[in-house]
Chains A and B, each alone.
Chain A
Amino acid sequence: MENILKISQIEKYYGNRSSLTKAIDNISFEVEKGEFVAIMGASGSGKTTLLNVISTIDKVTSGHIYVAGEDITKLKGNNLNKFRREELGFIFQDFNLLDTLTAYENIALALSIQNKDAKEIDKKIKKVAEDLDIKNILKKYPYQMSGGQKQRVASARAIITDPKLVLADEPTGALDSKSSKMLLERFNYLNKELKTTILMVTHDAFTASYASRVIFIKDGKIFNEINRGNGSRKEFFDSIINVVTLLGGDLNDAL
């Protein structure tokens, strides 16, 4: 299978010589096309930093990140923006929808900044609205939607550009359990049916259990990695819990 994301020995330091913080300490892993990978770790483990450097919002101190073969640590300025809008899709914990725009317009924005034609935009939105079951809320404004609806709109915005990789930062963090479940089932659908590659950061074992692979991070290093294989989600959830227990106090607190 083709590698969508290849991370090779990246490091990210904060601070100066006297007080150095290694947020990421020599991490390497790969994500294949069509995979649904979750990254788990406690607060401060470095998982958000990892997501930030992959999404080019932050820069690595050393190492390389390849997306579809291209080294994105070498990108600069407008090329970075171009990469971000054409190759990546983002889903954030706090949705990051523009409150002045309707759901439809929020989704359209991802395409209109690529200067796509209005007709093409309309066609794509109709399709993606079906996939994410948000057809009846397209005309609504964010303040008129529930958290789950907002996150599904945000997901629609993330995948409408057919990105190589969708990055999700705690997508269920602000949702109740029912909405979380619905959203994750949609993720599964996107992953299975549309072959969307998803990289998700979470500290929630339940959320992580929807992935096909979970990578655990502790103190900026990879601590463990488990595959779901052919087992059920329940079994996978149990094995995740086992690792979390091993990981120790911090993550338990977060659960």
Chain B
Amino acid sequence: MMLFKLSLKNITKSIKDYAIYFFTLILGVAIFYVFNALDSQTVMMNVSKSTYDIIKLMNNMLAGVSVFVSFILGFLIIYASRFLIKRRNKEFGIYLTLGMSRRKISIILFIETLVIGIFSLIVGLGIGFILSQFMSILVANMFEADITNFKFIFSTSACIKCLIYFGIMYLLVMIFNTISVSKCKLIDLLYSNKKSEKIKLKNPLLCTIIFIIFATILGIAYYLVTGGVDKLQSASQILLPMVMGVVSTFFIFWSLSGLLLRIFTSMKKTYYKGLNSFTLRQFSSKINTTVFSMTIICLMLFVTICVLSSSLSIKNSMTKNLEELAPVDIQLTKIIAPDIENKEIVIDYDLSIKETLEKNHFDTKNNLKDLIEFNIYEEDNLTLGNTLGESFSKIYAKYKNLQYDSVETVMKISDYNKIAKLYGNKQYQLKENEYLIIADFNSMIEVRDEVLKEGQKLIIGGKNYYPKYKECQNGFIEISSNHINDGIILVPDHAIEKLKVGYKGLIANYKEKSKEKRVKIESELHEIIEKIWDNTSLTTLNTKLDIAESSIGLGALVTFIGLYLGIIFLISSAAILALKELSESSDNKERFRMLRKIGTDEKMINQALFRQIAIFFMFPLVIAIIHSIFGIMFCNFILETFGNDQLLPSIIMTAIFIIIIYGGYFLITYICSKNIIRER
């Protein structure tokens, strides 16, 4: 009982030191709950089957990510508790000199961890519960689900999951505490804060050389993932710039503290102004001792920024793409494959898609409007490789992975213009011997533009054609969620006379306005297509509703996982920084007391403290931001098909997240440090 009282008193007494610890635990529990509670929230929603499948996939993935997150949080909590134990070395030393056994000290720590654990779980779950209600609105919004029957949901399963995961973490903390108490020596405990710091000065010349070497390596790594990204052949090759980036980040931190100090000490005017020399030395000594954690923090921030901004931008682009890239309700395609033996299918080749549908008892007249039918033509020797002409070897050297033997698709300009009119895209006119290429997939546009620039002639049906434009024109035929049109050649109508039909196409809108009836017609269509596929016809169906559901689902999936990981990484890195700063506050207290004794103004002291912490927080962030500029450029490249025009809003969103969480930790650290150094 006595020990219990002592523990409680310790906690209330050192609540200020524990503020960051509490804050982190509560945030951790709350976020863990919110993302795990998504499960039971989404179950309540009234959504279609395909959306439901995606939600299920999302929840499974979130559960998987949670395991990973729990590892990160576990490490963070153990790390944090060890810091706090170190701060209290003297207290334990006194207990030991008073004759208290190590076992009893362990029990005190055990009770403390228990009390803190229970408290943080209760508060964290409470906050998580409130946050998760906002989350369900967000989720419902994303999946365009009906939220009229919204109700407050408390997810018991998420709560139990929290209890189990965090229970294990606290148990580990207790074990670690016991080990560290049983291993420590009394003399170290009592005099641990008396040790004067040794300043390890690095050779400035060595620092400069190492800095230059690794800044160059970092520059090369940056180049590899941006300018030279086309040369990356396989996924494993991305490892090289990654390793280069990580290693050079470490050495840049290692050398930068020495280098900065060198630069600033030579700037005598600034250096010997107010407490600048003091602040700078404080910072450099801290960087010196924390190169490794600084690197980790910087990399975590880097991942956070990239993950958050890319995932948000994917989501934004998808929503926007959908309006632009799926302007009609349905699109049917009939493949005309040459070597088919099925008689019925061969007969079906001569029918238009509309006729095929009507043959299968679908009422096109009453159900569909804006109906356009068109043909896509092919010629066996008109492959991508052949269209490149003389530029082939040059382009092959640059882009080795293209499929050069794939057959190009050709369309009549009049057919295209009909579709373009319906889609609201630009229409074109061609002279007798002209062609043009429409495309919207950027990597392919790049390749084709190089050829068009040369005025490459094409031989179609035995005649020569010359490009009307020096670059690809923006456009597409197939409705989809992304920019995937890698090029369709448009020619004057007479040019296709000798070509064979590769595909037949049909696009149309539903006549019905109400969603319910549209869904009904669509399922009817799906049924027909499913029935005839490979039996009597090779017709496929692509609908706006399907595209919308899968793209919304994918967008939501990416967003939630991005948010989850991003926030956890952000919390972890900010918490480590805050703990590092606070753990040194007892040393700092002595130093600031000295400054006060020689008559430094309180304002100057607060300013010095503020700057010191601000620089400490900004340093890894700035380097992470520099990394991220290139990282995001790279993400953009690989996520190009998703579209990247929505980057700015997502970067702004990411910045808001960082300002709130990272800035919040910074402020708490500043306030706590100020309290610690204040004289009573």
Instruction: For the complex, give the distance between the alpha carbons of A109 and B277 in Å.
Output: 8
B380 within 8 A of A: no
CB distance from B319 to the nearest CB of A (A): 53
Q: Which residues of A contact B598 (CB under 8 A)?
A: 84-85, 90, 109-110, 113, 157
Could you tell me how many residues of chain A have their Cβ less than 8 Å away from some Cβ of chain B?
Answer: 35
**Closest-CB distance, B251 to chain A (whole angstroms):** 23
Contacts of A98 in B (CB 8 A): 278, 281, 591, 594-595
| A residues in contact with B276, CB < 8 Å | 112
Of B197, B268, B595, which is within 8 A of A99 by CB? B197
A88 close to chain B: CB less than 8 A: yes
The answer to whether A118 and B199 touch across the interface, beta carbons within 8 angstroms, is: no
A55, A92, A113, A122 interface centre (most CB from chain B within 10 Å): A113
Contact of B597 with A by CB under 8 A: yes
Tell me, rounded to whole Å, the shortest Cβ–Cβ distance linking B340 to chain A. 82
Instruction: Tell me, yes or no, whether A121 is within 8 Å of chain B by CB.
Output: yes
B interface size (C-beta, 8 A)? 29
Q: How far is the CA of A110 from the CA of B598 in the complex (A)?
A: 7
Which residues, 197 to 240 on B, are CB-close (under 8 Å) to A? Answer: 197-199
Interface-located stretch among B8-16, B40-48, B601-609: B601-609
Q: Chain B's nearest CB lies how many Å from the CB of A60? A: 18
Q: How many A-B residue pairs have CB under 8 A?
A: 90
> What residue of chain A has the Cβ atom nearest to residue B603's Cβ?
A78
Residues in A with CB closer than 8 Å to B199 are 99-100, 141, 143
Tell me if B273 counts as interface (CB < 8 A to partner A).
Answer: yes
> How far is it, in angstroms, between the C-alpha of A68 and the C-alpha of B650 when the chains are bound?
65
Interface string of B175-207 (1 = CB under 8 A from A): 000000000000000000000111100000000
Q: Which residues of B contact A57 (CB under 8 A)?
A: 597
Q: Does A25 contact B (CB under 8 A)?
A: no
Q: Which residues of A contact B99 (CB under 8 A)?
A: none
| Bound form: Cα–Cα A225–B281 in Å | 46
B272 contacts partner chain A, Cβ-Cβ < 8 Å: yes
Asked if A143 and B198 sit within 8 Å, CB to CB, the answer is: yes
Q: Which residues of chain A come closer than 8 Å to B596, judged between CB atoms?
A: 81
A138 to B662, CA, bound (A): 40
**With A99-B196, A143-B198 given, is the CB distance from A112 to B597 under 8 Å?**
no
A88, closest chain B residue (CB): B599
A118 & B274 in contact (Cβ 8 Å cutoff): no
Is A82 a contact partner of B599 (Cβ separation < 8 A)? yes
C-alpha spacing A157/B273, complex, angstroms: 16
In chain B, positions 550-599 with a C-beta closer than 8 Å to chain A are 591, 594-599
Residue A245 CB within 8 A of the other chain: no
A113-137, CB < 8 A from B: 113, 115, 118-119, 121-122
B-chain residues with CB within 8 Å of residue A115 when the two chains form the complex: 273-274
Closest chain A residue to B284, Cβ basis: A100
Q: Which residues of B lie under 8 Å from residue A86 when comparing CB positions? A: 599
- A55 vs B275: C-alpha distance when bound (angstroms): 22
Q: How far is the CB of B407 from chain A (nearest CB, A)?
A: 72
Q: Does B269 sit within 8 A of A, measured CB to CB? A: yes
**How far apart sit A83 and B600, CA to CA, in the bound complex (Å)?**
10
A101 within 8 A of B: yes
Q: A112-B272, A113-B275 are in contact. Are A100 and B600 (CB under 8 A)?
A: no
- B581 → A minimal CB distance (Å): 15
Q: Does B285 contact A (CB under 8 A)?
A: yes
- Residues in A8-63 with C-beta less than 8 Å from chain B: 55, 57
B282 at interface by CB-CB < 8 Å: yes
A108 contacts the other chain (Cβ, under 8 Å)?
yes
Q: Could you say which residues of chain A place their CB within 8 Å of the CB of B604?
A: 113
Q: Could you tell me if A85 and B278 are in contact, using CB atoms closer than 8 angstroms?
A: no
Contacts A57-B597, A118-B271: A100 and B285 contacting too (C-beta < 8 A)? yes
Residues of A within 8 A of B274 (CB): 112-113, 115
Q: Which residues of chain B come closer than 8 Å to A101, judged between CB atoms? A: 277-278, 281
**Are A112 and B277 in contact, CB atoms less than 8 angstroms apart?**
yes
Decide: B268 and A118 in contact? CB cutoff 8 A.
Answer: yes
Residues B275 and A100 in contact, CB atoms below 8 Å apart: no
Q: How far is the CA of A94 from the CA of B199 in the complex (A)?
A: 19
CB proximity of B596 to chain A, nearest CB, Å: 8
Contact of A92 among B269, B271, B597 (CB under 8 A): B597
* A118–B272 touching, CB < 8 Å: yes
Complex CA distance for A197 and B601, rounded to whole angstroms: 25
CA distance A55 to B597 in the complex (A): 9
Contact, CB under 8 Å: A121 / B272: yes
B599, A83: Cβ atoms under 8 Å? yes
Return the chain B residue nearest A119 by Cβ: B268
**Closest A residue by C-beta to B608:** A113
CB-defined contacts of B594 to chain A, threshold 8 Å: 96-98
Minimum Cβ distance to chain A for residue B77 (Å): 31
Smallest beta-carbon distance B63→chain A, Å: 48
Chain A stretch 70-89: residues in CB contact (< 8 A) with chain B: 77-78, 81-86, 88
Query: Can you list 11 contacts pairing A with B, beta carbon distance less than 8 Å?
Result: A81-B600, A82-B599, A84-B599, A99-B196, A109-B598, A112-B275, A113-B598, A118-B269, A118-B272, A141-B198, A143-B197
Which 3 interchain pairs have the tightest Cβ spacing? A85-B599, A84-B599, A100-B281
**15 more A-B residue pairs beyond the given contacts A84-B597, A90-B597, with a C-beta to C-beta distance below 8 A:** A77-B602, A88-B599, A98-B281, A99-B199, A100-B281, A100-B591, A108-B272, A108-B277, A109-B275, A109-B598, A112-B273, A113-B275, A113-B600, A141-B199, A157-B598
